[in-house]
Amino acid sequence: MLPIIDRYLLRQYVKTFLICWFSLTGLYVVVDAFSNLDEFLRFADKSGRPLFEVLGEFYFYRTISFFDRISAILAMVAGMFTVTWIQRHQELTALMAAGISRIRVARPVFYAAATVTLLGMASREFVIPGIRDNLSRDPKDLVGDSAVMIRPRVDHETGILFGGKFANAAERKIHGPRFVMPIGLDSFGKFLTAIDAFHEPANDKHPAGYRFKGAPAPTNWLTEPSATIQNKTILYTPADHGDWLAADELFVASNIDFDLLGSDRKYLQLMSTWELARGLRNPSLDYGADVRTMIHSRIMQPVLDITLLFLGLPLVLRRETRNVYAAVGMCIGLTVGFMLVTMACHYLGDILYIRPVLAGWLPLMIFVPIAAAMYDRIDR
């Protein structure tokens, strides 16, 4: 059984946390929903579903992502408000008069904030990757069938440059594919085109890749044997694989997932750390320094979240702040400064001014000594 003071502080922390969480989330939902209300109305009318059902489904996933973005700030704000509240009512003074140190009083707050940090990490690594298709959907494309511009991408294993007019996420289709073929696959022409190309996962007949349908060109490939690079079949033709390829179809093997063709950094941020690290070992991909920096910063993120709390709590504990507005001001100032320094470190890693691993660790090198010094001087 927890001591009375611990239970009291935990109740205060949970109450403050929920108030902040519902307030910020409600504000985000209201502002975003009204900004895109016309799109939601059109989709509700088109699908025959009630508007509130459409909004509920859309923002159910958005609130999970929103929690991931603000969990560290919420943990710190709730902790600072909890301590400020007991100081405002002279409860901290009474506890210290009874021989209880400030650090002992704040201990349940630290534990509660660590729990929030772990929840944020679990959401980031296990929940968000499973719903990233919902999170990457734009309000203007609630059905997921709008055309998305394709970002040219090279398959570094085969040397093929992927391109096309646009992509359709709902059908996993590239409309007007135009693949630039490397040396060894360009005997009949530099470009491989068709009306559409559909991404297909690996099965017992072929690896993952793209099935070209509708007048593939150059047509010479339709009657030629499959093409290989370094003894690995890259271009499958109906001459060798007529059991699963129609006479007017070609298949290009590639480990580049369809979602990466029309995605940007935002989609990568919705992946788990394990998926990002696995992508580094994918011979078809060549993630840049920004993704490597992202991986290292993800690993350090839980420690950074706790560090932010250790920076904030000593401010209100040592100053014995009773003014709630002063606590709000310190929260804002500390959070802004912390985020700016962290973003600057990550940016230096993105542009390879410093190594990605150092970019992930540098915020800790800056803030941990400061937090340790502030924490050590709480009771002095």
pLDDT tens sequence across 88-138: 888 888 888 888 888 888 889 999 999 999 999 999 999 999 998 888 877
pLDDT of residue 95: 83
Contact 118, 302 (CB under 8 A): yes
Q: Are residues 28 and 67 in the same domain?
A: yes
Query: Is 131 in the same domain as 150?
Result: no
**Does residue 360 sit in the same domain as residue 315?**
yes
- The mean per-residue pLDDT over the stretch 40-45 comes to 87
In a domain, 342, yes or no: yes
Contact at 8 Å (CB) between 178 and 197?
no
Averaged pLDDT of the chain: 88
- Per the structure, the complete domain to which residue 256 belongs is given by 144-262
**Position 195 in a domain:** yes
Residues 157 and 132 in one domain: no
Asked if the structure places residue 300 within a domain, the reply is yes
- Confidence band of 330 (pLDDT split at 50, 70, 90): confident
Q: 263 falls in which pLDDT band (50, 70, 90)?
A: low
Q: Residue 66's pLDDT is what? A: 95
Assess whether 232 and 297 both reside in one domain: no
> Rounded to whole angstroms, how far apart are CA atoms 190 and 217?
10
Phi, psi (5° rounding) for residue 176?
Answer: 65, 50
- Is the pLDDT at 25 greater than 70? The verdict is yes
Q: What is the pTM of this model?
A: 0.84
Whether 275 is covered by a domain: the verdict is no
Measured in degrees and rounded to the nearest 5, phi and psi for residue 304 equal: -65, -40
Query: 114 and 180: one domain?
Result: no
pLDDT the model gives residue 24: 94
How many domains does the chain contain in total? 2
Q: How far is CA 62 from the centre of its chain?
A: 12
| 255 and 332 belong to one structural domain | no
What pLDDT shows up at residue 319?
A: 58
- Please identify, among 262, 277, 300, the residue that sits at the C-terminal boundary of a domain: 262
Q: Which helix (H) or strand (E) holds 179?
A: strand 178-180
Q: Is 106 strand, coil or helix?
A: helix
pLDDT for position 248? 93
CA separation for the pair 237, 185 (Å, rounded): 13
How far separated are the first and last CA of the chain, in Å rounded?
31
Identify the pLDDT of residue 21: 95
Residues 8 and 125 in one domain: yes
In sequence order, the β-bridge partners of residue 293 are: none
Per-residue pLDDT band at 359 (split at 50, 70, 90): very high
Query: What's the CA dihedral at 16, 22, 27, 28 to 10 degrees?
Result: 120
The answer to whether 244 and 238 have CB atoms below 8 angstroms apart is no
Q: Does a structural domain hold residue 280?
A: no
On whether both 298 and 338 belong to a single domain, the answer is yes
- Check whether residue 240 and residue 345 sit in a common domain: no
For residue 274, being part of any structural domain is answered with no
H/E run at residue 71: helix 51-88
The answer to the question of residue 278 being in a domain is no
* Domain contains 107: yes
Residues 196 and 81 in one domain: no
Output b/e per residue, 310-340; b: 16+ Cβ within 10 A.
bbbbbbbbeeebbeeeebeebbeebbeebee
Rg for the chain, CA atoms, rounded? 27
**d(C-alpha 75, C-alpha 254), whole Å:** 43
Reference 229, options 281, 157, 179, 154; nearest CA is 157
For residues 172-191, average pLDDT? 91
For the cut 60, the answer to whether the pLDDT of residue 239 exceeds it is: yes
Tokens 């559909």, residue located: 198
- Of the listed ranges 48-62, 209-223, 256-270, 338-352, the one predicted with least confidence: 256-270
Do residues 178 and 122 both lie within one domain?
no
Burial of residue 161, with CB atoms counted within 10 A of its CB: 0-12 exposed, 13-18 middle, 19 or more buried: middle
Per-residue confidence (pLDDT) for residue 324, from 0 to 100: 62
Given this model, what pLDDT does residue 354 score?
93
